[in-house]
């Protein structure tokens, strides 16, 4: 018996195949099914906070560091009775993917590009893009192009977002527009057939693309504050300053200025602080073995404070790491990294914390940090700026070096 049969043209079109006019001889059965090809292309501002120290993407200031990470997710689907979604596919070799840094609307159509709102610095290929893609700035002040050199595979059933490129930029001079906050958009857009399904469970030749955008904003131009007339104050009789010791001094961890900051945000979001500290604990200090504490105070009380129980940090090489994503909404320490330093000698502490910091109205503030059972402290006059306060702690040259341990002599009987 002949196992083939004739199928009318309209039935084949319903199966997703385009055939010539008339009946054709086709196999009696097929296992391939109709599938839909698509990817989610997403630009992410400052995906790693450590790449954008001191940056608030909702209130950018000129010179703030900004990164845009190009992230791609396979969102293709089977029509029915699928294996685990999504079906496998390739981001095809030869594809050119446009990345706009700044536009005045989310579609980034012609005439909406905003040159030099974000100024290009460098780029880094990530994950499967290494060796299979290249990125170049378009030299127009507002965009770049990711070129796929070899197929980049998206495995069957893998809907994990994949980072392909990180672009490092800096906020330009605030645009001269009247709004209190200048909103702009970043966008990624592939070609309509840059992604092709390769799963054997799907009919061949199915292609698609993807696009997406996100928003950021420049901060409002600060209103100048009138300079008050200074009131003469009596000069107190100077008292000799005590000689600092390693147990009670906080310095800045850089040989160049690296400001610690307090950011006062709009009422809908929590305020936050970025602190960069250098302390000099005794040899053998393990920050994860005991309680870690941080406190910022002024004459009005506590501006920010939180503690971590022993064992909260994770050891990675010469560093200790802690991260608590819900702190962005709930308050407290969001990210903490403590790293042993050789030059300068000591432990560098980088911390971001969230909370209500509206009590930061007095410029004279004290920072206390407790690590390895020792509390370190510094009191400084912070400088107000358009977003809150900043301070550069004493340079490392002004901090005492950790002394060598004193040998213990056992008396001779």
Task: Enter the pTM of the model.
Answer: 0.49
Per-residue HEC secondary structure of 103-117 comes to ECCCCCCCCCECCCC
Exposed, middle or buried, 175 (CB in 10 Å: 0-12/13-18/19+)? middle
Say yes or no to pLDDT of 237 above 70: no
Q: Tell me the pLDDT tens digit for each residue of 203-233.
A: 999 999 999 999 998 887 656 666 777 777 7
Residue 105 to residue 194: CA distance in whole angstroms: 24
% helix, strand, coil for the chain, step of 5: 5, 40, 50
**Residue 306: beta bridge partners?**
294
pLDDT at 89 over 80: yes
Q: What is the per-residue pLDDT for 20?
A: 30
Selection from 42, 34, 37, 41 nearest residue 17 by Cα: 34
The stretch 132-152 carries a mean pLDDT of 96
Work out the pLDDT band at 264, boundaries 50, 70, 90: very high
User: Contact, 169 vs 66, CB < 8 A?
Assistant: yes
Cα separation, 179 vs 214, in Å, equals 19
Rg (CA), the chain: 29
């Amino acid at each position: 018996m002949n196992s083939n049969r004739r199928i009318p043209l309209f039935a084949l079109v319903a199966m997703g195949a385009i055939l010539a006019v008339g009946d054709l001889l086709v196999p009696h059965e097929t296992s391939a099914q109709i599938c839909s090809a698509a990817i989610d292309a997403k630009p992410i501002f400052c995906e790693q906070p450590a790449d954008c120290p001191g940056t608030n993407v909702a209130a950018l200031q000129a010179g703030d560091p900004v990164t845009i990470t190009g992230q791609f997710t396979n969102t293709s689907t089977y029509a029915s009775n699928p294996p685990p979604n999504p079906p496998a596919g390739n981001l095809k070799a030869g594809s050119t993917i446009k990345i706009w840094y700044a536009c005045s609307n989310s579609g980034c159509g012609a005439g909406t590009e905003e040159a030099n709102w974000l100024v290009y610095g460098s780029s880094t290929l990530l994950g499967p893009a290494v060796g299979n893609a290249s990125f170049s700035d378009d030299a127009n002040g507002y965009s770049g192009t990711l070129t796929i050199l070899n197929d980049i595979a998206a495995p069957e059933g893998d809907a994990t977002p994949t980072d392909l490129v990180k672009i490092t930029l800096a906020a330009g001079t605030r645009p001269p527009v009247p709004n209190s906050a200048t909103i702009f958009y970043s966008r990624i857009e592939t070609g309509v057939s840059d992604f092709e399904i390769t799963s054997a469970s799907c009919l061949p030749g199915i292609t698609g693309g993807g696009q997406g955008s996100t928003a950021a904003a420049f901060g409002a131009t600060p209103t100048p504050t009138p300079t008050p007339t200074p009131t003469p104050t009596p000069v107190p009789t100077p008292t000799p300053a005590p000689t600092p010791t390693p147990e009670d001094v906080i310095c800045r961890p850089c040989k160049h200025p690296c400001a610690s900051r307090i950011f006062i945000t709009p009422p809908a979001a929590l305020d936050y602080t970025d602190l960069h500290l250098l302390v000099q604990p005794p040899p053998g200090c393990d920050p994860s073995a005991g309680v870690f504490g941080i406190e910022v105070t002024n004459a009005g009380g506590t501006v920010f404070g939180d503690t971590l129980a022993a064992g909260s940090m994770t050891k990675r090489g010469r560093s200790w790491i802690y991260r608590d994503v819900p702190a962005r909404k709930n308050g407290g320490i969001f990210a903490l990294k403590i790293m042993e330093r050789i030059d300068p000698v000591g432990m560098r502490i980088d911390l971001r914390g969230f909370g209500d910091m509206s009590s930061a109205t007095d410029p004279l503030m004290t920072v206390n940090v407790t690590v390895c059972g020792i509390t370190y402290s510094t009191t400084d006059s912070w400088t107000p700026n358009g977003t809150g306060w900043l301070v550069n702690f004493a340079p490392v040259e002004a901090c005492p070096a950790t002394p060598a341990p004193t040998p213990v002599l056992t008396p001779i009987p």
